[in-house]
Chain A
Amino acid sequence: MHNAGYVAAGYSLTLVTLVGYRWLLTIRTRRAREYVSTITRRSRDKRRRS
């Protein structure tokens, strides 16, 4: 295959970008979920104490 390097680089980059973005969204979901559950728990405890 002529110019195979450019083709391979293009396809690899595309797939890495798609997978990378999906992974980044997983990390962001986890962080936001942890944050929400932490502040919800903290506010619930505060309400109980008061």
Chain B
Amino acid sequence: MRYLYKALTALGSYQAQRVMGIATLATLLATVVIGLFIVPPDATQGDVQRLMYVHVPIAWVTFMSFGVTFLASVGYLITKRIQWDRVAAASAEIGVGACALTIVLGSLWGRPVWGTWWTWDPRLTTTAVLLLIYVGYLSLRKVADSPARRAKWSAVLGVIGFIDVPIVHESVVWWRSLHQQATVLRLGAPTIAASMLATLLLGFVAFSLAYGYLMAVRLRVGRLEDRSSVPVSSLSAPRASRPRAAGISTTSIPTSVGSDGHA
């Protein structure tokens, strides 16, 4: 847990962000060019299968985001450190965007292949439920009246909500589904051609980097927004009398910021 936070803090420095931003751009560009123009089209589905190179990695980012939210929520419930709450909120926000994008991309892929934009298939339905759970998570964060209560309530939901992630992944195995089964994360060898698999893996790298980059920026915004909600009286107080960053009080949010020194 401590290592996860250390890794996220290291990603928060401007230099790391810059490098990650450039790497994200380069790998995204490579994924788009290779996915659209170089890899051959699928024998059955034709060119529309090219949507796989963005749809599947974004679904992976969704799972990763909610996984980080789960870990950070557990971290908050154990340690009561506000930093964990910030990590959980940042990751959930990115996860909600990725989950919505996964559904839309799946819909764009489903229309020409299945003949419908949407169907109440187990994979689609459980993914829609996942989106609703985390939209609820973000809404809950808006309605809580104190930072401590907000952090506690959302940490509980962040833990409970994660139960749906394995259900989404296994839904194609447990129930009869229109959605295809796992082709990469399965027992035995992947069932797709090597060139398609390589492009898909490049997509995973590109979108994982994009997640890391957006997380680093979002964490900085989170620290700043927490600072901007500190009462004026506490800002004018001498530095020594400020509350410690490690704890959280119901009356004010810690004013100290991350180790990058920018926020």
* Residues of chain A having any CB pair with chain B under 8 Å: 1-4, 6-7, 9-11, 13-15, 17-18, 21-22, 25, 28-29, 32-33, 35-36, 39-40, 42-44, 46-47
Q: How far is the CA of A11 from the CA of B48 in the complex (A)?
A: 11
Cβ contacts under 8 Å, A28 to chain B: 221, 224-225
For residue B236, CB closer than 8 A to chain A, the reply is yes
Q: Do the beta carbons of A40 and B235 come within 8 Å of each other? A: yes
Q: Is A46 a contact of B104 with CB atoms below 8 Å?
A: no
Output the residue of B101, B108, B218 with the most chain A CB within 10 A.
B108
Known contacts A21-B214, A25-B221: does B101 contact A14 (CB below 8 Å)? Answer: yes
Is B78 interfacial (CB-CB < 8 Å)?
no
Given contacts A7-B51, A14-B101, 10 further A-B contacts (CB under 8 A): A2-B41, A2-B46, A6-B109, A9-B108, A11-B51, A25-B218, A28-B225, A32-B221, A36-B227, A43-B236
B: residues with CB less than 8 A from A are: 28, 32, 35-36, 41, 46-48, 50-51, 54-55, 58, 94, 97, 101, 104-105, 108-109, 111-112, 210, 214, 217-218, 220-221, 224-225, 227-228, 232-233, 235-236
Pick 16 A–B contacts, CB within 8 A, sort by A: A1-B47, A3-B48, A6-B48, A6-B108, A6-B112, A9-B108, A10-B51, A10-B54, A10-B55, A11-B54, A13-B101, A14-B105, A21-B97, A22-B217, A25-B221, A43-B232
Residues on A with beta carbons closer than 8 Å to the beta carbon of B108: 6, 9-10, 13
Min CB distance B87 to A, Å, is: 15
Bound: A38/B242 CA distance, A: 19
Contact B228 A7 (CB under 8 A): no
CA–CA, A29 to B109, complex, Å? 35
